[in-house]
Structure 1
Amino acid sequence: MKKSILIIMVLFAGFAFGQGGPKIEFKAKDNTIDYGTVNKDDDSGMRSFEFTNTGDAPLIIIDAKSTCGCTVPSYSKDPIAPGGKGKIDVKYNMNLGPIRKTITIETNAVNYDEGRVALKITGDVVAKPVVNLLEKKSTSPMMN
């Protein structure tokens, strides 16, 4: 009887401490991509969150949703093998002003609560300055 209890305790301890399965690790620090300050007309708004499956089972991206329609995530539906790499592409529509958006990824990863990972994009979109070539410059050497 004592032997059976000991075996059961060892099995439970193994499950508690050795959580195997798929694990997702993102390359971006704090799972955030900073666009910086970008010109609306000069940037496509496309960025990629690169990740690695550091676990011991295939990783599956189940779904990806953004906080608004201005940010569209896309991803491969194929499982990522242990040690394999993947990416989640994010297309922001480049509205003028600050960028503060969250994309929630649902996975089968065991290293995030319920497999949900929050990815963030930040930055600032500005209009490209308009240069008027007909406007006189006050610092022209010809004007003196």
Structure 2
Amino acid sequence: MKKTLFLLMLLFLGVTYASAEKQAEIMFDRTTHDFGKFSEDSPKVKCVFTFTNTGDAPLVINQAVASCGCTIPDYTKEPIMPGKKGTIEVTYNGAGKYPGEFKKSITVRSNAKSELTRIYIKGEMTPKTVKSAKN
């Protein structure tokens, strides 16, 4: 009787452990995008980060939060199945900001094995072109 109970308990623990191992995993194609130089005349720039669910359970992005209000992330809302891809489109709007170099982070929260992932954008906004007045 004790052996049977012990074997049943081991079987239960083994099944529970095996089912708990299924987990989503997020892998980005790159974690930093460099916009390079762009003019304050056109201060809004966009890029797209692509990621793959390399795990064996559906991946859900719960939240993508930028480090400041000038950066807006938009991400795939539906679950990403194992082996499939999703995207995070990031818009940086430098209007009203001082020209110069910048680096911003976007914190991605998901149900992946690594719950938090950070991606970055950087670049340099150059001053507006000054048009000379003809006299």
**Shared fold by TM > 0.5?**
yes
Provide the TM-score with structure 1 as the length reference: 0.72
User: Does the 8 Å contact 2:72/2:91 carry over to 1?
Assistant: yes
**Which among 97, 104, 107 is matched to residue 100 of structure 2?**
97
Matched, 1:26 2:31: no
- Is the partner of 1:45 in helix, strand or coil? strand
Match of 2:76 in 1: 76
Segments of 4+ in structure 1 off by > 3 A?
A: 128-134
**Structure with larger Rg:** 1
Aligned letter for 2:101? P
Which blocks of at least 5 consecutive residues in structure 2 are unaligned? none
Q: How far apart in 2 are the matches of 1:83 and 1:62?
A: 19
Count, aligned residues: 123
**Conservation of the 8 A alpha-carbon contact between 2:43 and 2:93:** no
Q: Which amino acid aligns with 1:21?
A: Q
Q: What residue is the counterpart of 1:64 in the other structure?
A: 64
Residue in 2 aligned with 1:142? Answer: none
The aligned residue for residue 49 of structure 1 is 49
What is the Cα deviation at residue 43 of structure 1?
5.9
Q: Distance in 1 between matches of 2:84 and 2:43?
A: 30
Helix, strand or coil at the partner of 2:44:
coil
Secondary structure, in 3 states, of the residue corresponding to 2:41?
A: helix
CA shift at 1:132, angstroms?
4.5
Partner of 2:127: 127
Structure with a larger share of its residues in strand: 2
RMSD after superposition: 2.7
- Higher helix fraction: Structure 1 or Structure 2? 1
Q: Which residue of 2 aligns with 1:140?
A: none
Q: Kindly state the Cα deviation for residue 129 of structure 1 after the two structures are TM-superposed.
A: 3.6
Distance 2:21 2:126 in 1: 46
Q: How far, CA to CA, are the matches of 1:19 and 1:41 in structure 2?
A: 51
Unaligned 5+ runs, structure 1: 135-144
